[in-house]
Structure 1
Amino acid sequence: MVVGLINANPVVYEKKERRPRNVPTSIDEYAEEPIDQQEIFDHVRDIKDPEHPYSLEELKVVTEDSIEVNDKQSYVRVTFTPTIEHCSMATVIGLCLRVKLMRSLPSRYKVDIRVAPGTHATEAAVNKQLNDKERVAAALENPNLVEMVDSCLEPTFG
């Protein structure tokens, strides 16, 4: 057990079975292929929690149902649910989601990252920070924060 965590013993859920998808074979085909909810979920489901050895999917911080995609308008919204109301890592989790999608999606997409309504004590402040370009850019200039984000985005197998 890790000492000092606000939520030292989170509930851990089983991962959903991955569904086969048609994967584009070229970058041109990828650019033309519509993006859907399942694809976004596949991008974010394995992000590691900053405090626990579990994925965001295993902690039900993100679910496929919490993702909205409008491919025609190039819009993606991911609504995540922190494991506790006073999660000190909510902004880091949201930043991980944003960075993963920035690295994975074509640049035409506008990405909106939100805390699920009523699930965090400072929900409005977290949402404002996660969706302000200047604040995100400033956060990504902090080498310690970038190292933490990169650590959460490292591929996991299991």
Structure 2
Amino acid sequence: MVSGLINANPVIYEKKERRARTAPSTFHDEYAVEPIDQQEDPEYSYSLEQLKVVTEEAIEVDDKRNYVRVTFTPTVQHCSMVTIIGLCIHVKLMRSLPSRYKVDIRVAPGSHTTVDEVNKQLRDKERIAAAMENPNIVHLLDDCLAPSFD
């Protein structure tokens, strides 16, 4: 957790109850992907689901076209961690999915003061590659992607 939070009192929502599955029945189960919405937010000790940053409805999967799109909504319009959140989601998918998938991560329209700039950064493969060479960013991403046991 980061000190000096921009949104010191975020709204926390209940986690969805997930039913146990005995056989793969969804895209996420098929590839043993921990749901993206269970990732921890970089500023808080809550999941992206609990903060409603990512919802199931905001995850689009086109298995035939090898395409995944996640549209996320930061907790405040001036969130300073918006690019890191997008990068965490991107890295989670790239580490979890077969390499044939194209991943598209976006900030929801109107949900951030710099939506266009952030979306441009999240689509830039060179920026993502450069970020993955920065040890401070990699450490932050690893913290976000670490499994939670609650």
Write out aligned runs for 1:1-158 (5 A). Answer: 4-21=4-21, 23=23, 35=27, 42-158=34-150
- Once the 2 structures are TM-superposed, how far is the Cα of residue 21 of structure 1 from its aligned partner? 3.6
Structure-1 separation of matches of 2:3 and 2:139: 22
Cα deviation digits, residues 101-151 of structure 1 (max 9, x gap): 000000000000000000000101111111111010001110000000000
Which runs of structure 1 show a deviation greater than 4 angstroms over 4 or more consecutive aligned residues?
36-42
2:76 and 2:111 in contact (8 A); partners too: yes
- Once the 2 structures are TM-superposed, how far is the Cα of residue 20 of structure 1 from its aligned partner? 3.2
SS at 1:138 equivalent: helix
- Once the 2 structures are TM-superposed, how far is the Cα of residue 157 of structure 1 from its aligned partner? 1.4
2:60 and 2:68 in contact (8 A); partners too: yes
Give the TM-score normalised by the residue count of structure 1: 0.86
Cα deviation digits, residues 29-68 of structure 1 (max 9, x gap): xxxx972699798421221111111010100000000011
1:37 and 1:67 in contact (8 A); partners too: no
- Alpha carbon RMSD of aligned pairs, Å? 2.3
1:37 and 1:68 in contact (8 A); partners too: no
Cα–Cα, structure 1 residues 38 and 117, in superposed 2: closer, same or farther, change >3 Å? farther
1:76 and 1:112 in contact (8 A); partners too: yes
Structure-1 separation of matches of 2:126 and 2:32: 24
1:81 and 1:119 in contact (8 A); partners too: yes
Opposite residue 115 of structure 1, the aligned amino acid is V
Structure-2 separation of matches of 1:38 and 1:120: 33
Structure 1: which 5+ residue stretches go unaligned?
Answer: 25-32
Which moves more between the two structures, 5-14 or 38-47?
A: 38-47
Opposite residue 126 of structure 1, the aligned amino acid is V
The alignment-based identity, stated in percent, is 66
Structure-2 separation of matches of 1:9 and 1:138: 33
